A and B are shown apart, each in its own frame.
Chain A
């Protein structure tokens, strides 16, 4: 996932997050060549305790941010989101948080499918038709990391 606070990210579609199931478009898009531009995932609903994990920021920085939210930020729960390749990292962060809490934290993972939109722009505007889009799906994970209610 792309870091949501990254300034100016919406204007740079090339900085889309890494995708795991990239289909090689150039080969299949005969006869005209297109450039593939990945749009950013459609929306990032973001509460203060939502963390979107990406593959660009240093792992330890992202882990530290989560720890800060849980310990210093006073949140009883945070939600760690990961898309595609970042799923692994999101799981890793969640498991690390749990391990370093000495059993105080619990995890609840949900999975979902995220629809992603790619823009296809013709290399040569004279030859090709209008720009097109294509949608594809990628998997995502949403991990709730929380202190269980004392009962």
Chain B
């Protein structure tokens, strides 16, 4: 059993729903208790879809458990097929139905429906949402592509002379973070490069489209979390190579262009394509100088976390002080990316661990998920969202890709926005106790009143101090701040104060001091600056 305040992913059957809902002419019959239909709201509310997800739930209740829940499932499958007439029927169980072991796959097969059945085995107590999506997509691609698998040892036939190179775009789903606009941005980029998009899947595809995947020359693996398993199988079975680079950020997009052109066997001038990006110039302009070495902590799914770390370090000039992911399936890639930045990656799905790490590091900016927003609020650190899980505000009406050159512009704006602007930062450092721009007021461009950021009272969050207070291992000593040192510490701008406090204490412990004086504070400052 695990204490979970917030979960980074839903259960695996939600991943399967994301595939079904992304597609046309697919229906999913889910053996699940009453109440599991809450998942419909993810699509109708958070993503604001105009249609109900194509999911029929058995919604059994306690009184059904004494009777024949298997019969209930068969009825649901029969009526769902009759009503919706899908070209493919997915069947599976939610976590509670997994416990009662009715075998939806076997039951559905016994119904003899005139439609392919995709039975899903998604272990709800071991695996999670993205795995569920990846597994569902992979099983579907396998089922519908089986007639086109190359015999062992046979190479893929060369592209017909004069034919345009073509690719599939794999991975975008319903409820994916900015998938809608990423697909548009990348499709346009590929078109401009002279590459045709054969099928985008699962988003917008139907089972017939899935059966056509083998036709493309190669695959663009846009979201490894959901497409890796299918892409790997297609490389093996159809001889289609797939892309490795993720087109997030200015440089990421350039690398992606180079890679797809190589896979398509075409020449292209990467520089020419790069001219449209304002993000690069914005980062180079002097207004951005104050962003240099701002300490940033990054957490999210592996794809977005790795990409964000690269953008933060190499395009924004931030200092990445922490990098982690909840995507265990891609832990190795994140470890490599962290090592390149001289860090050890955090691989965890435990919100409390992430919270503890951020508390310890005291970054000036957090790039994370909706869950890191909770931590950021508690620690009063600016925060921007780079990855699922996200909520309704991150399914915006406006065009907001993360990928491609336009995506790089979106990243620049949204990451810089929560930070205090340069001039204000300077003046706060110079003059304290201003009646309006006082210490601890929120950045004024965020439109908050100048109320203090720190609530000094206890109230509901009275337990919070315990965690925010650093817990350095001092053996049996206690470390005390002298009053004037504490006062001096409070003159340091709040966004670096947490770090200064920790550094000073660390220094004091190393020096074997029992109390921190004004001098200790400045000794520590000099020590860490050197």
Asked if A pairs with B, the answer is no
